[in-house]
Structure 1
Amino acid sequence: MMFTRFRTSCFGLPFAGLLFSLALPAHAAAPAPIVMPSQWMSALASQRLAPGYRHFGDKVDALASALAASCEGQPAAAAAARQRWLEAAHDLRELSPLPIGPVLESRLLRRIDFWPTRPAQIESSIAQYAKTPANTARIGLPARGLPALEYLLFDAERPALADDGPACRYAVWLARDTAAGISATVSAWPDWIAGLAEAEPEREARLLADGINILIGSTETLRLKYLEKPLRPHTGPAETDAWRSGSARAGLMAYFSGLRAGLQGDEGMPGLTAMLRGRGLLTLAERLDQRIDAVQTALPPDFAADAARLQTDTLVSELSRLQRLLAEELADAMKVSVGFGENDGD
């Protein structure tokens, strides 16, 4: 998801943490270490996102190879391609809540993760590609990426790829196009991370604004795009993300895992809560932890159950509470302006 950068007041410089510690009474516990936005982003990028996109790219490469083998008539290749898709889709869902750095700048997720899927546009793009395979510039985003490949691999109403030469060749191109976008992002991470080493105050403020707005937006995406909108119709099956492949629940869990990493960090990797504690906002950090745990408890909904829409009510409510805490109290405490931008997957 793509968020506009906002002006924020610069705060939380190292000397502020020193003054805060000097002001504590003698019996008070020492505050947590100050974590600057650049440190937060650097750790997230170097420990999670850069290696994550590298492994994701390897899986998409394997998917492309399996699809090519399927087009050549190798019997086991179709099942292998579906398995490679499931593995790649899991990685994408875990990475997609955190479109920072090169992902934000290149708008990669628009190219590889357009959803909801538009079958009619995919089918017309198959015909267009069959006529002029060298002219792919006119193939629109709704007909690209992993969701389009899910439709081609798993949709029960269309022929198997091995029996549909034009669609099979198009699927191979889709996978290779996705892999090319990922490869460019992987190459860009080292320079982006190195540029954080001596971030000036103005950039620290921008990084903070981008990070918090992305987390707010990703929380909203999980609530609205992946839950409320697909479950809003009261008739027929819920066409949630990855419903054709039966991996909707796994995808939601992966998405929340990525979102949680940005919010709370991981072993040796600070999250937003570490920045709160470093600035003495201990109560707010504790409340954020509680809201995150409440969402975790409500996951995953059972989309296959008749009562799926009722089962998601608690999850949607908990995500709303988490989003309000981030967008109102936390943003105010961190002196960040909240704004809305284009969703990077739409």
Structure 2
Amino acid sequence: MRWIALLLAAGLAQAEPTVPNAAWSQAWLDQAYLPRHAALTQSADALASASKAFCETPTPVQLDNVKQDWLITSQAWRAMDGAPAGPMVLERLGRKIDFRPTRPDDIEAAIQGSEINNAATRGLPAMEYLLWGNAQPKLQLAKLKQPERCAYLSKIAAQIASDAHVLDQPWSVYRSELAAENAFFRENLLSEHINLLLSSMSSLQKRMPTAEGVKPEQFIEWRSGSSQAQWLAQWDGMNLALQAVLQRLRDDGASPIANKVQQDIAQVNKNCRNLPTHLAQSTASARLACSKSVATLKAIIEDQIGEQFDLTLGFTEGDGD
């Protein structure tokens, strides 16, 4: 597999890390990664089907169905992005399915030419624009009754499903490699996955602007009004992957570190879960408290978990895409 060769050449870990055994490694994948992939592919398939049905019968009810499936799929993607790993990184799935910022002019031009090879004219952000416009949802039904526009919507949805399913086999191969006689993938498991978690935490902070007077357009998914739900989906994916790390800390006799991380996770939940559905309606102080709690959690992972497991932690915010 191409992605395996790339990962072997990457040299992701420079230190001598803690090496999990095959059973633990595969259990982490089975519990925290593969279910999120399954949720993404299932929701993307439903989105593709709903989009096709809507274009055949473009009614308000059918449009609502597509919007609901888009919300589910987008949150499933955000959960995956909360804790990415080898296959999705090396396939650059984020660029294919979640290219930002949204470029309406490019999308409008693409509708006329039926071109979706440009990353800016495909994926979930492009669908959000077609379904909600620039926060003008009531105007979109009439627009989407135009055959070429609806056909483009359906084509994007089908491409999202196809892109998600590209990872079906790589995830299976990755799982097998974690039990291989050659321990390379297990040796790099903690370093790679925790680095990617840290990168996602940086992304999560960027999704929570903390200044006074921010405009709705500064919040990702402002068109669909789902910025808080999307933020929490990414956080929940991250939190799910962290639970195995906490258990490993306890197994290694580092319960005090695990307990402190668990306390910091609880603080993120306390500060972030009760913000308004539209994050633009939240106060700057509330958003700042949420962002700071994520920063505190990120710091202890970088410092204490990295030291406990003897990991090299040094990915940048751009890694993971």
TM-score of the superposed pair, with normalisation by structure 2:
0.85
Corresponding letter in the other structure for 2:14:
T
Contact 1:12 1:279 in 2 (8 A): no
Are the structure 2 counterparts of residues 239 and 38 from structure 1 closer, same or farther at C-alpha, using a change threshold of 3 Å? farther
Aligned residues: 305
2:192 to 210, 214, 219: 210
Pairing partner for 2:253 from 280, 295, 300: 280
Distance 1:121 1:59 in 2: 26
Corresponding residue number in structure 1 for 2:42: 58
Deviates more, 1:42-51 or 1:312-321: 42-51
Per-residue deviation, 1:108: 1.4
Q: Separation in 1 of the partners of 2:268 and 2:63? A: 37
Alignment-derived partner of residue 174 in structure 1:
156
What is the letter of the counterpart of residue 262 of structure 2?
D
Map of 1:285-324 to 2, 5 A cutoff?
A: 285-300=258-273, 301-302=275-276, 303=278, 306-324=281-299
Alignment partner of 1:9 out of 1, 5, 15: 15
The alpha-carbon distance between structure 1 residues 282 and 199, as it changes in their structure 2 partners (threshold 3 A), is: farther
Q: How much has 1:299 moved relative to structure 2? A: 1.5
The answer for the alignment partner of 1:47 in structure 2 is 31
1:241 is aligned to 220
CA distance change for structure 1 residues 115 and 343 in 2, over 3 Å: closer, same or farther?
A: farther
Match of 2:175 in 1: 193
Which residue of the partner structure matches residue 184 of structure 1?
Answer: 166
CA RMSD of aligned residues (A): 2.5
* Offset, 1:5: 4.8
Q: Aligned pair in 2 of structure 1 residues 242, 332: CA closer, same or farther (>3 Å)? A: same
CA–CA distance in structure 1, aligned partners of residues 66 and 306 of structure 2: 43
Instruction: Report Cα offsets for 1:1-42 as digits up to 9, x if no partner.
Output: xx96533333445xxxxxxxxxxxxxxxxxxxxxx1755542
Please tell me whether the aligned partners of residues 16 and 311 of structure 2 are also in contact (alpha carbons under 8 angstroms). Answer: no
Q: Please name the residue that 1:33 is paired with.
A: none
Distance (whole Å) between structure 1 residues aligned to residue 218 and residue 197 of structure 2: 25
Q: Which residue of 1 aligns with 2:309?
A: 334
Native 8 Å contact 1:94 1:255 kept in 2: yes
Structure 2: gaps (5+ residues): 1-6
Q: For residues 248 and 124 of structure 1, do their structure 2 counterparts lie closer, same or farther at Cα, with a shift above 3 Å needed?
A: same
Deviations 1:59-113 (A, max 9, x none): 2222122222222334232121111111212211222212113212212122112
Q: Higher helix share goes to which structure? A: 2
Question: Do the aligned partners of 1:118 and 1:143 also contact (CA within 8 Å) in 2?
Answer: yes
Deviations 1:187-245 (A, max 9, x none): 33222211111364543332221011011111111112x112xx547353353222222
Partner of residue 105, structure 1: 90
1:164-205 deviation per Cα after TM superposition (whole angstroms, max 9, x unaligned): 332211111111111111112123322221111136454333
Report if the CA contact (8 A) 1:10-1:202 is conserved. Answer: no
Partner of 2:75: 90
Q: Residue 27 of structure 1 corresponds to which residue in structure 2?
A: none
Q: Cα gap change, 1:251/1:339 in structure 2, threshold over 3 Å: closer, same or farther?
A: same
Residue identity opposite 1:340 in structure 2: F
3-state SS of the aligned residue for 1:227?
coil
> 1:255-312 deviations in whole A, cap 9, x for unaligned?
1111001111xxxxxx111222222222211211111111111122224565432211
* Identity %, equivalent residues: 26
Query: Match of 2:166, SS?
Result: helix
State the 1:321 CA deviation.
Answer: 0.8
Which amino acid in the other structure matches residue 12 of structure 2?
F
1:152 aligns with 2:154: no
Q: Which range moves more in the overlay, 231-240 or 71-80? A: 231-240
Q: Select the structure with the greater relative contact order (CA < 8 A; seq sep ≥ 6).
A: 1
Instruction: Name the amino acid aligned to 1:286.
Output: N
Q: 1:305 to 1:77 in 2, by over 3 A?
A: closer
Moved more, 86-95 or 112-121: 112-121
Conserved in 1, the CA contact under 8 Å of 2:17 and 2:311?
no
Partner Cα distance (2:293, 2:223) in 1: 27
Q: Distance in 2 between matches of 1:12 and 1:227?
A: 34
Q: Which protein shows a greater Rg?
A: 1
Structure 1 308/39 Cα, relative in aligned 2: closer, same or farther at 3 Å?
Answer: farther
The residue identity in structure 1 corresponding to 2:191 is: A
Structure 1 residue ranges without an equivalent (≥5):
14-35, 265-270
- The question of 1:71 aligning with 2:49 is answered no
Structure 1 residues 144 and 44, CA gap change in structure 2 (3 angstroms): farther
Q: Say which is worse superposed, 159-168 or 308-317, in terms of deviation.
A: 159-168
